[in-house]
Amino acid sequence: MEKEFLTVRSLSKLLDMSEQTTYKLAREGVIPGRIKVGKSVRFNKAVVMDWLQKGGANS
């Protein structure tokens, strides 16, 4: 099964927050699944969805 990745923009929309806040929380390690590809940042969708199902930042 091929892994799916989210962009910062799509993750921000999913979390209903600004892209800047998404970047900040990812850098701080609050949002898991962050992967740097060159200068781009992507998020492993399965990891993020699992994290959200477990309560997100409260887990």
Q: Which tens digit of pLDDT belongs to each residue from 4-38?
A: 999 999 999 999 999 999 999 999 999 999 999 89
Mean pLDDT of 51-58: 85
Separation of alpha carbons 49 and 56, rounded Å? 9
- The model's pTM is 0.84
Task: Output the six-digit token pair for 22.
Answer: 């998404």
Give the pLDDT score at 34: 95
Mean pLDDT of 36-58: 91
Task: Output the six-digit token pair for 36.
Answer: 């740097």
Separation of alpha carbons 58 and 40, rounded Å? 27
